[in-house]
Structure 1
Amino acid sequence: MTGIIGVVVLIIGIITAIWPYFAWYVRLGWKFKDAEPSDLALNAGRISGIVLVIVGFILIVSSCSTGSGADSKWAEQFKEKLNAGQVKEISIGMINPEILSEEEKNTVIQMIKDAELRPFDAGDAFGSNNAGKITFIDETSLDIVIFGPSGGIELHPKFTETEFEIMSEELKNWFHTNYSD
């Protein structure tokens, strides 16, 4: 989405920088009969167009840099935190969350470590059988969604645009047995 906005801003910037009279007319000139822009208005429009070109270019480049590379980097960092034993607790439940015992927590962590984390976009899909939270020692956390839009167990990080499905039938069965309504 950022890339599309960047392209639109870039096009508007190019038009404004190359044809400042046209941009002035589209923005203001049509409102007044026999009006002409001042040299200052045309120069300000040209400078605004150059700024828009730069902003559009930045948006396009930034949209390219937040692709699957960023997703796989997040997944690697998450697994590193699991391997380093940084999980403080895992809670399951939306209203009165239940904190997993140390044994249950270690079982779930091991199953997540052994599984592939597949990025996906839940879009506007909502709903789940249950939900919870994984909290780390540094007090950061992420949501875990049980049987959500993907049909499996999902991780919903707060600082990425992508969600991750934990590709583990063993983990699905464990949650189905222990935390399914």
Structure 2
Amino acid sequence: MYIVKASLRPILMMLGRVFLTGFFGFLFFILGLIAAIGPYAAWYVQLGWQFKDAQPSDLALSMQRVMGVIFAIIGLILMISSCSIGGSADSKWPEQFKEKLAAGEVQEITIGMITPVTLTLEETTAVIKMIQEAELRPFDPGDSYGANDTGSIVFKDKTSVELVIFGPTGGIELHPDTTQEKYMIMSEDLKNWFLHNHRNL
């Protein structure tokens, strides 16, 4: 039950973001189009109704037309960006993460909440290899918390990714700060490695 929920929630969240971006883009585009084509109507809705027998100046109408074009362009950009579902930062993160692993950019891997222990070079190499070979499956932890232990994968550029060991999914997880999604490392070998090499788990 949890696996189904975990796999569907990121998709629903992404669709919600896409819908909102597309909706506001469409709204901006229509309002901008109205102002660009009919600047008098836009001026009247904004200001003219407040005054009796008022008439806009040529400059006011020109400004309405310019603002309309700008709004229409912004709306168009929002609508186009909402169509780029597969181009989000979340969807590219696993690939970029694995590229950093393959490039040898890992400085160290630490395990432990209170007194972190740094893995040896041999252990680090083994863990990296298992992560590279595994699928990184996105999930949304929702309101679920807790873990047997946590760690950190630290890169040479001083960035890091939190490693959650036997967290809400019951497996090994990656919790990056730069994405809304978290990732399950789909590797039984990695789970067994942590069980055998870290007795406190």
Q: Aligned residue for 1:168?
A: 187
- Number of matched pairs: 179
- Note the alpha carbon deviations across 1:98-151, whole angstroms, 9 max, x for none: 33333332232122112012234x386563414432111232322333455655
**More displaced 10-residue stretch of structure 1: 41-50 or 103-112:** 103-112
Contact map agreement 2:141 2:182 (CA 8 A) in 1: no
Identical pairs, percent: 55
**TM-score, with structure 1 as normaliser:** 0.73
Q: Given the alignment of the two structures, is residue 84 of structure 1 paired with residue 100 of structure 2, yes or no?
A: no
Aligned residue type for 2:189: E
- Between the aligned partners of 2:145 and 2:77, the Cα distance in structure 1 is 35
Mapping for residues 5-154 of structure 1, pairs under 5 Å: 5-30=24-49, 32-34=50-52, 35-65=54-84, 67=86, 73-94=92-113, 96-120=115-139, 122=140, 125=143, 127-129=145-147, 130-148=149-167, 152-154=171-173
**TM-score, with structure 2 as normaliser:** 0.67
- Note the alpha carbon deviations across 1:19-63, whole angstroms, 9 max, x for none: 333333443344x23144333222211211111111122223234
Distance 1:147 1:58, change over 3 A: farther
- Between the aligned partners of 1:134 and 1:9, the Cα distance in structure 2 is 43
Q: Give the unaligned 5+ runs of structure 2.
A: 1-16
Aligned residue type for 2:157: D
Distance 1:11 1:94, change over 3 A: farther
Contact map agreement 1:125 1:149 (CA 8 A) in 2: no
Cα deviation, residue 11, structure 1: 2.8
- Between the aligned partners of 1:149 and 1:128, the Cα distance in structure 2 is 7
Contact map agreement 2:141 2:168 (CA 8 A) in 1: no
Contact map agreement 1:128 1:145 (CA 8 A) in 2: no
Q: Give the unaligned 5+ runs of structure 1.
A: none
Contact map agreement 1:155 1:164 (CA 8 A) in 2: yes
Cα deviation, residue 167, structure 1: 1.5
- Between the aligned partners of 1:58 and 1:136, the Cα distance in structure 2 is 35
Aligned residue type for 1:21: Y
Query: What SS does structure 1 have at the residue aligned with 2:95?
Result: helix
